[in-house]
Structure 1
Amino acid sequence: KLAVSHDYGIYHCTGNGICSWYDFASAIMKEAGLPCKVNPCTSAEYAAANPASASRPAWSALENRMLRCTVGDEMRDWQDALHDFFANWNGEL
């Protein structure tokens, strides 16, 4: 819809819902069926362990506002999309 519209600008297009990087990584490991333990850490803990990393804002969830304001936000929940990805992935990179 956006490609054939006359709307322009910078758009975030991401699955709906909110999660942390920890939530996302945990869901990936679970959907992949990998016996991997994901350990949460704060941004401060990550920065201390990786001093060359960029500073992160306190809140940085992507939002599909421009989609909603133009052609409509029909993105599904990120968890549903992740589940469908693994249900259809053949394991090849």
Structure 2
Amino acid sequence: MLVQMAISRAREYGADETGARICGRPLALANALRKLQMGAQQIPMDANPATSHMFIVNPLTGGGIARLFSTHPPIEERIARLEAMAMARGMQA
């Protein structure tokens, strides 16, 4: 199960990278993730762990060992990777 969750997190990073390459604007994607995260915090939803993989932003929160079971990487890490991608392309973060 832990391997499956790790694969799911890796796929999320890959999806972010592919989306950024397709649109050509990694910072726009990072900004969209920020907005989705803010919306999820302002209007929390009842989320079932069985459906959490279907969300763009992880509806379940937790730190420590709970992160091992997360289907999504932390939003901050996803944003940081997109910003690093933008900087590598010479865009300002």
TM superposition score normalised by structure 1: 0.30
Larger Rg: 1
Query: By percentage of residues, which structure has more helix?
Result: 2
TM superposition score normalised by structure 2: 0.30
- State the structure with bigger RCO (CA 8 A, min sep 6), 1 or 2: 1
